[in-house]
Amino acid sequence: MTLYLNFLKPITDKMESQTENNRVYMENLNENLKKQLIEALNLEDITPADIDDNMPLFGETGLGLDSIDALEIILILERNYGIKVEKPKEGKEIFYSISTIADYIRKNTK
Amino acid sequence: MTEILVTGLGAVSAIGTDVRENLASLRESRHGIGHVMHIRTSLGYPAGEVKPDNTGLKSMLGLPVTKTVSRTALLGLMAAAEALKDSSADISGSRTGLIAATSAGGMDLTEDFYPGFMKDSSSGRLRDVAMHDCGASTDFIADKLGVKGFVTTISTACSSAGNAVMLGGRLIRQGLLDTVIVGGMDALCRFTLNGFNSLMILDSGHCRPMDASRSGLNLGEGAGFLVLQSERAAKKSPYCRLTGFSNVNEAFHQTGSSPDGDGAYMSMTAAMRDAGISPEEVDYINVHGTGTPQNDLSESMAIKRIFGDRPPMFSSVKPFIGHTLGASEGIEAVYSVLSVSEGAVWPNLNFSEPIPETGLVPELSCRTGLEIRNVLSNSFGFGGNDSTLVFSRC
Amino acid sequence: MKTAVPVYINMAASVDAASLKELNLASVIRNPNALRRMCRLVRMGVAAGMMCLEDMGEDGPDAIITATSLGGLEDTGKFLAEITERNECGLNPTPFMRSVFNTVGSQIALLKGIKVYNMTYVHRGLSFESALFDAVLQIAEGKRTVLAGAFDEITPEAHILKQRAGLFRHGEKEGEGAGFFLIGNRPAGNRSACLSGLDVRRGPLDENQKKEFAADFLSGFGLDLSCVSVFNGDRVKKTCGEYGTASARVLHEAFASVHACSSEYLLVCNSFRNMSHSLILLKKADAGL
């Protein structure tokens, strides 16, 4: 019963704290994305500080990622943010930089 | 140099369990793509499955239904045995061989064993993983057919069987073998279906190779084998000759192909050079044509670079049978040989609009009564492995 | 098969789990973007291959031929596990891609921009022998240099399965590693050895049959067992362990010892779980053709 009561009462708190968590998470979105990218893509010698928010992730001028990495980024969005990118083609613009990915996540998260 | 004669054919695919059935389906534009029936999967993609289940295949092969054999090996045995019988070749000596290609081997058994094994490592029957490795399927076929000479297995992803045919051809040319059974085999399995899905290159509908609206491939399964013989070993008049082959690596990307079609260009030109023919002498190209945006663009760019605005007749048979991976160039080599011997070209189903970058239009219906001098047959795989075979009239 | 033209082994490199840890990988595989995506097995294979190519300069070999008996088992297991755990949804493509058997051969091609013949053999205990056979054929067809090698790995899952199959009961030691060779139509330097011939048998052989096989093979060269030194692969496997392509490691050790042996010829004998057998005949390169 306690469980039940506890469950009933804090539900608004919980929602608030969830939103709060989400807010903090979203504020640190760029940093989190960088960490997730480094881990998923096994970018051994790179730290979040090495990745500028606006630097191109793909191609020779930036981080040098390629189409297989794009598939991994799609998984990051799916597994961590519940966002589905159905067509790899759409990824081209969305995954241009950390900033563009973060924008896309904000637009697609309620 | 010793001529390489094609004296036997065997094919099993979504459109037939022998060469006669495959040929009839090609002529009548009857494709074999449909719902997955034989494997457990929650993915809804269509595929080109061979119609009989394992029990059916075993009884057709005269094997006890209780015997554990990978589906890959069953399909391989069926096509290799048909090819051998068709050739009337004597394989009792040591100057004979079997070269088989596969990409999945016995994965169809392993993937059913694995979930139980993950939970409890003492569970499951060992015989279900005994055929996991690719060579096990080849050895099974060699033992069933009584091949005593050279036996090996090749796996270079989707170009595997093209490379098996090529190795057989080289061994006959060099005078090392007189008779060699060459081809490829692969069963559809959850592992490859999920693998191609994770790469986001499966079409949820029927694939549309060489079409502007193409959006991915359909997987398939099956096996195709040829018997190659030297002139002195051949006992019957051959279907055609294998006159050229190539194996190149594009060295462009681990899974992708270059937009200019460099790999396909190098592969086709090297094979024509090997066969001693010019582009004008090519009458038909059986293209790799998987239906993925990338493959078909780079392949048709290469065709344009070699043949200009008036390329020879060409088509992809993938809408009939799906992309059968390690079996692909085995089955399609059989279709290419039949193109030469029957004087026919096969239709490229589901085509409506040419690829805008090239404007190339494939053959849309089955045509017969043609004089086909030389056929190029392409197969391109992961890792930039590109192969082309040339079959020529006798 | 007796080689129709002179064939030489000019360079050999092996990498196993221990030497992989000691290697400065970034100096052998000089593309960080490629390196980060390689698993342990691919790193072992590519590193051994690249070490053989180090002195080649821009030209590169005329063919790359690889072999593996079981391929990327770790990635195969990973992808199989994901299929079950994630119920076929949102799977990571990287393990699937790496589990393809020709990954090592194509990675070497990609790293060095080598657009030539590229082949992969996957025939159990005779995978490496198939690659070596093809390399000899390539030289006979007029190629100058061929990179040929093999690789296999141990995984915890495969270990359990081997244990259940009773393989360790007969004293088999588990092994893994990669071994690559640079093969040429002429000797290069004083470490070269002539690869005079190669033959294989499938199926079990008893001791007498093994001797018969060796005698038959040697008679093709006008030789018998009394005029060659014998290099028994089992001796090497006591250290490196048993695996489908352990014969590549055995050949490396034999190659390293050929100039120190008393006879002109060294007969390298391999058996894999008495399921398949191979004989390789090496000759001192400076002793004439």
Q: What is the full DSSP assignment across C7-44?
A: -EEEEEEEE-HHHHHHS-HHHHS--HHHHTT--HHHHH
Binning pLDDT at 50, 70 and 90, where does residue A20 land?
A: low
pLDDT score, position A1? 27
Copy the structure tokens of residue B359. 């404007």
> Percent of chain A having pLDDT more than 70?
74
Binning pLDDT at 50, 70 and 90, where does residue C286 land?
A: low
CA distance B163 to C227: 39
Average pLDDT over residues C32-46: 94
Binning pLDDT at 50, 70 and 90, where does residue A84 land?
A: confident
pLDDT score, position A14? 43
Residue ranges in chain B whose pLDDT is less than 50: none
pLDDT score, position A92? 79
pLDDT score, position B207? 98
Model confidence at A8: pLDDT above 60: no
- State whether B385 and C118 contact (CB < 8 Å): yes
Contacts of C103 in chain A (CB under 8 A): none
Binning pLDDT at 50, 70 and 90, where does residue A5 land?
A: very low
Copy the structure tokens of residue C218. 């040697």
Which residue is catalytic, options B31, B132, B158, B189? B158
Pairing of the two strands B313-315 and B284-286 = parallel
Please identify among residues 10-69 of chain A the ones whose CB lies closer than 8 Å to any CB of chain C: 41-45, 64-66, 68
Q: How many Cβ pairs closer than 8 A exist between chain A and B?
A: 12
pLDDT score, position A6? 33
Model confidence at A9: pLDDT above 50: no
Q: How many CB atoms lie within 10 A of CB B360?
A: 19
Average pLDDT over residues A47-57: 91
pLDDT score, position A61? 77
Strand partners, C195: C282
Q: Which residue has the higher pLDDT, A7 or B97?
A: B97
Model confidence at A19: pLDDT above 90: no
Q: Which residue has the higher pLDDT, B158 or A27?
A: B158
Of A65, A71, A102, A106, give the one whose Cα is nearest residue A86: A71
Q: What is the dihedral of CA C35, C37, C40, C45, to 10 degrees?
A: -60
Pairing of the two strands B385-392 and B240-249 = antiparallel
Model confidence at A11: pLDDT above 70: no
Copy the structure tokens of residue C4. 């129709």
Strand partners, C177: C152
CA distance B124 to B113: 6
Model confidence at A7: pLDDT above 50: no
- State whether B200 and A67 contact (CB < 8 Å): no
Quote the mean pLDDT of chain A: 77
- What is the ipTM, given to two decimal places? 0.98
Binning pLDDT at 50, 70 and 90, where does residue A85 land?
A: confident
Binning pLDDT at 50, 70 and 90, where does residue C289 land?
A: very low
End-to-end CA distance of chain C: 17
pLDDT score, position A24? 59
pTM for this predicted structure: 0.94
Are the C-beta atoms of residues B145 and B80 closer than 8 Å to each other? yes
Q: Which of C33, C38, C42 best tests the A interface by mutation, with the highest count of A CBs <10 A?
A: C33
Please identify among residues 218-247 of chain C the ones whose CB lies closer than 8 Å to any CB of chain A: none
**How do residues B21-47 score in pLDDT, each as one tens digit?**
999 999 999 999 999 999 999 999 999
Q: Give the gap in angstroms from C-alpha A101 to the nearest C-alpha of chain C.
A: 19
Q: Which residue has the higher pLDDT, A1 or C201?
A: C201
Is residue B288 part of the annotated active site? The answer reads yes
